[in-house]
Structure 1
Amino acid sequence: MTEISKVINVKYELNEIVEEAYKALRANIQFCELNKKIKTLAVTSCIPNEGKSTVAINLSICMAKAGIRVLYVDADLRKPASFKYLVSNLKGLANYLVGHVSLEEIINATDIEGFNFITCGMKPNNPGDLIASDKFGDFLFEIEKLYDIVIIDTPPMSNFIDGAIIATQTGGTIIVAEAKAVKWKTAVMMKNQLQKANANILGVVLNKISAADYKNYNGNYYYQSPKNSSNKWLIWKGKRHKHD
């Protein structure tokens, strides 16, 4: 890999309980690799503001802290994640897909060892066409060679097909859903759309769970914030594996 000279400082301040939740999520994804190693992982949601990007970024950093070489890619060319505002390099995925820059020019190194990221870059006029292009497939092929896993943040699927297109080209997909925010029928339609696209759905991260609701999720992996905290955490519901 071409050496990246500039290093970006990343703010990562999770409390112990939240960090444990992401470690458990990391472990469950690794359990899904019993038959085949997952090199690319799409993270999607049904509607905006369910915490999809936060989950994708924190999961990426959690994996890097475990010694895994991780690349986070903001592939939401319609509404980018906050990483865009942390770097002076505004060249990103869209710039690469239209052929204006090289791959090395859009990869940002960070002060967290093993964790790099790519912003969405410029806002294109044709985001759907870029995601569906052969150039995007070539991009995935190239970055798979450079990292242990590539985590791709996709647009919500309620209004755009981009997430499903990306999911068809990745080794696995996880769905982030905010508790009590998405109607059941809408969630089922999203799942069916991903399955029709032959996406490998690993599981669902049920996000922003209140402490009062934890007792309703017995049998899943769940994590409770301290009693004096107003934070809401996540629950993982995924594929069962031999070690269950």
Structure 2
Amino acid sequence: METITLIADRDAKSPVAEAYRTIRTNIQFSNIGQELKTIIVTSATPNEGKSTTISNLAAVMAQAGHKVLLMDCDMRNPTQHKIFKMTNKGLSNCISANEAVQTLIQKTGIENLELLASGPVAPNPSELLGSHRMEQILEQLKPDYDYILIDTPPIMPVTDAAVLSGKVDGLVMIISSGDVTPAVAKEAKQRLLQAGTHILGVILNKVEMAHTHGYGYYYYYGSESTSGGDVRRQK
């Protein structure tokens, strides 16, 4: 197996890896008293860093001793199999061809972290993610993992994240600083709320280093019912 290049795995003592650990802590304490096992990480628009964020977050959760499944539900532009250098056979095979999900889960090379890739690009992703079969898969997998982290397409271009959000325990949204206007961010949030999504918080990504005394920052804001904190990330 080729070496994984995730910074959370390659350089665990770096400020960037520490940022992901802080995000991990915020998520773990964001829903005390209620189950928080299935979590979507998405973005408002494309190219905001959601797939990089969720893969590193999965890595630091696994490093903490949690058994983690990273599920790539972006059937339009699947990425996780590329990050982990694996075969892209997975979720769409399971839903469309009714293949057993356990046979499609792959070891990542990081202890406690497994991957269910997206599988071949599907012509009808929203319908697949909203299907009863998708609900069955999630329920089947939940007893085997402490956390299931789910990568989905961005909110604004397509409905996939909103469709799937009603089947999970919470959602974290990535916003790229300088690339997404407040109006677009608010519209993305409104679409999720209309779908009944439990928004855990927002991570502000790609903040310019010059504005933060040598560090970029993520900001993780809790939803109305939770408190948030800021999360450092070196750019």
Instruction: For 1:188 and 1:32, locate their aligned partners in 2 and report how far apart those are by CA, in whole Å.
Output: 21
Alpha-carbon contact 2:26-2:228 (below 8 Å) kept = no
Alpha-carbon contact 1:174-1:204 (below 8 Å) kept = yes
Identify the match of residue 58 of structure 1 among 56, 59, 70: 56
Quote the offset at 1:77 in angstroms.
0.3
2:166 counterpart residue number: 168
2:71 counterpart residue number: 73
2:233 counterpart residue number: none
Unaligned runs of 5+ residues in structure 1 are 1-6, 216-223, 226-231
Shift in alpha-carbon separation, 1:181–1:117, aligned structure 2, 3 A? same
Instruction: For 2:86 and 2:23, locate their aligned partners in 1 and report how far apart those are by CA, in whole Å.
Output: 31
Post-superposition CA distance 1:112-168 (Å, at most 9, x none): 111001111111121121111111111111111110010000100111000011111
Alpha-carbon contact 2:51-2:79 (below 8 Å) kept = yes
Instruction: For 2:97 and 2:71, locate their aligned partners in 1 and report how far apart those are by CA, in whole Å.
Output: 17
Structure with the greater alpha carbon radius of gyration: 1
Which stretch shifts more, 171-180 or 74-83? 74-83
Post-superposition CA distance 1:181-211 (Å, at most 9, x none): 1121111111111111111101000001112
Post-superposition CA distance 1:84-110 (Å, at most 9, x none): 474453311111011242112210112
Instruction: For 1:82 and 1:174, locate their aligned partners in 2 and report how far apart those are by CA, in whole Å.
Output: 18
Q: How many residues align?
A: 224
Unaligned runs of 5+ residues in structure 2 are 230-235
Alpha-carbon contact 1:8-1:110 (below 8 Å) kept = no
Shift in alpha-carbon separation, 1:149–1:88, aligned structure 2, 3 A? closer
Identify the match of residue 20 of structure 1 among 5, 18, 21: 18
Identify the match of residue 236 of structure 1 among 212, 220, 226: 220
Quote the offset at 1:82 in angstroms.
4.3
1:142 and 2:126 correspond: no
Which stretch shifts more, 117-126 or 54-63? 117-126
Instruction: For 1:23 and 1:85, locate their aligned partners in 2 and report how far apart those are by CA, in whole Å.
Output: 19
Secondary structure in structure 1 of the residue aligned to 2:114:
strand
Quote the offset at 1:11 in angstroms.
2.6
Q: Give the TM-score taking structure 1 as reference length.
A: 0.85
Indicate the percent of aligned positions where both proteins have the same amino acid: 32
Instruction: For 1:102 and 1:87, locate their aligned partners in 2 and report how far apart those are by CA, in whole Å.
Output: 22
1:127 and 2:111 correspond: no
Compute the RMSD of aligned alpha carbons: 2.2
5 Å-filtered alignment, 1:185-196, equals 185-196=183-194
Amino acid corresponding to residue 143 of structure 1 in structure 2: L
Which stretch shifts more, 161-170 or 77-86? 77-86
Shift in alpha-carbon separation, 1:241–1:121, aligned structure 2, 3 A? same
1:95 counterpart residue number: 93
